[in-house]
A = this chain, B = another copy of it.
Amino acid sequence: MDRFRATMKVICSKDNLLQGTLIAQRCVSPRAPLPILNGILLSASNNGLIFQATDLDLAIECTLPAEVMTEGTVVVPARHFSDIVRRLPDQNITLDYEPAHRLLTLTYGSAQFNIHTMNAEEFPLLPTRPDTPTLEIDQITFKDMIRQVAFAAATDPIRPIFTGVLLEIAPDYLMLVATDTHRLAKNKLVKPNTDFDDISRTIIPARALNELNRLLKDEQSSLSIFLSPSQIVFYTEEFLFYSKPIKGIFPDHQKVIPLKIQTKLSVAIADLLPAIERASLLISTKDGNSIVHLSIKQHCLTINSNAVNVGSVHEEIPVNVEGQELEISFNARYLLDALKIINAEQISIEFAGQLSPCVIRPVSEEDYLYLLLPLRT
């Protein structure tokens, strides 16, 4: 292909060069299956300088302003290139590609940095850009939804479906659900701005959402989402981010949410979180987990935890309780995960008995739900 045998010349500010490189580098994995995937593809086009990278599961593309003298492409080794760009002086950098020796020269002031580049012909073609988005959402809103849900997905790839997050789009809501079979997190955003008249379900790798989260801004600027059977694309004014969906049927989360509530308590996160954090220091299982025992009585939640030859803790927290008294045990880490990500001062916890999952919600809003299985002790 001729485009790989041509010279390329472009002038780009150090800041833009660094920004594009750092965004693209998010999809460069040190465990990439092919050497070429350790590279970033730079393309000088009439739109500016385009940065592309992929690990074959995820892919990313962003375009930044640059003065293009000669259009062309080059693949630079990602880590080495970002190390260099980071240390360049804060000025315009000229990038000059000379295909005969595959050398890219960065010129700044009276200095030149020559970089041996990679074989651009080996770089995989990225998917085509989608025409119209399936839906649009505020970046900051979606960022918070990811933060509150994706952590509950499984990290063990033995059952791939549980390493994914369900994205469900309906005419009147947008929902994310993740579960590792021990706990389940769900965030349902009612009435987003969709033109949908059906229900669509896609399972996105939690890893893709976590990477996306690092790219999103804490701002009310728009994120477009495009869904197709073979591809999920998230894009903003700054970047396009591609992921493959996980194939399979996501388990029906409605079935596991208990209906008969026997005990309900409300408690301040500021009281419960530090107490559970202290209890979690007492590792009591072989795989490094701590078990906390909760004893729920009228107006009082008692927390006990102990580890042989290490120590024990006993704490009492004032709470509001409705319904029956209860003794129940949990993995401290799973409780902590929820307490750390809920944006509320008070939570309610609903119990359906000693062996049934409990449901944790922020008191003020109905969007979020965290379901947790107790331990049999």
Which residues in A have some Cβ–Cβ distance to B below 8 Å? 80, 83-84, 87-89, 103, 110-116, 274-275, 277-278, 281, 309-316
Contact = CB atoms under 8 A, between A and B. Distances in A.
A267 to B, nearest CB: 15
A88 B274 CA distance: 8
A114 B313 contact: yes
Given A88-B278, A89-B274, A274-B89, A313 B83 contact: no
A114 B311 contact: yes
A110 B299 CA distance: 14
Q: How many copies does the complex hold?
A: 2
A89 B89 CA distance: 48
A281 B83 contact: yes
B278 A309 contact: no
Contacts of A314: 111-112
Contact of A315 (B83, B110, B277, B278): B110
A113 B303 CA distance: 11
Contacts of A80: 281, 310-311
21 contacts: A80-B310, A80-B311, A84-B278, A87-B274, A87-B281, A88-B278, A89-B274, A103-B311, A111-B275, A111-B315, A112-B313, A112-B314, A112-B315, A113-B312, A113-B313, A114-B311, A114-B312, A114-B313, A115-B311, A116-B310, A116-B311
A212 to B, nearest CB: 30
